[in-house]
Amino acid sequence: MSRTKGGVVTHARHKKVIKAAKGYYGRRKNTFKVARQAVDKANQYATRDRKNRKRNFRALWIQRINAAVRSHDEALTYSRFINGLSLAGIEVDRKVLADLAVNEPASFGAIVKQAQDALAA
């Protein structure tokens, strides 16, 4: 039986890694061994940071909600506002609340008023 050579498959694998390393500095972009290490590390960062991005956006939404709540009522804090929402039976997530606070201040003010009324009762 004749010998099979793996040149085509190996070349395709190398080409895929080198393409993924396009734009990297120095040998990281054109030497397979170094490029593979760089691409593997980049994929590790990408996997980790997909989780971190969700965490960062949630923190941003909370900061925006807190600022908007305090602009409507100085004494009301973020945590008391969220408590008031749950007492009032309003189930709106933080992403939507932050968007309302930025783009629809009047609507957000009405929600704050409902939360205050629920806290007072």
Q: What is the pTM of this model?
A: 0.78
Encode pLDDT of 5-56 as tens digits.
Answer: 888 999 999 999 999 999 999 999 999 999 999 999 999 999 999 999 999 9
With 90 as the cut, is the pLDDT of residue 121 above it?
no
Residue 56 lies in a domain: yes
Which CATH number goes with the domain that contains 95? Answer: 1.10.1900.20
The model's confidence at residue 65, banded by pLDDT at 50, 70 and 90, is very high
- 3: in domain: no
- Residue 102 included in any domain: yes
Q: Which pLDDT band, with edges at 50, 70 and 90, does 1 fall under?
A: confident
Q: What is the pLDDT of residue 114?
A: 95
Residue the block writes with tokens 């190398």: 14
In the prediction, which pLDDT does 105 show? 94
pLDDT over 70 percentage in the chain = 100
Residue 97 neighbours by CB distance under 10 Å: 23
Number of domains, the chain: 1
d(CA 100, CA 87): 20
Supply the DSSP string of the chain, one letter for each residue: -PPPP-HHHHHHHHHHHHHHTTT-SGGGGT-HHHHHHHHHHHHHHHHHHHHHHHHHHHHHHHHHHHHHHHHH-TT--HHHHHHHHHHHT----HHHHHHHHHH-HHHHHHHHHHHHHHHH-
- The reply to whether 33 falls in a domain is yes
Q: What is the predicted pLDDT for the residue at 74?
A: 87
pLDDT digits (tens, 9 = 90+) for 77-88: 999 999 999 999
- Owning domain of residue 69: 9-120
Inside any domain, residue 1: no
Classify residue 2: in a domain, yes or no: no
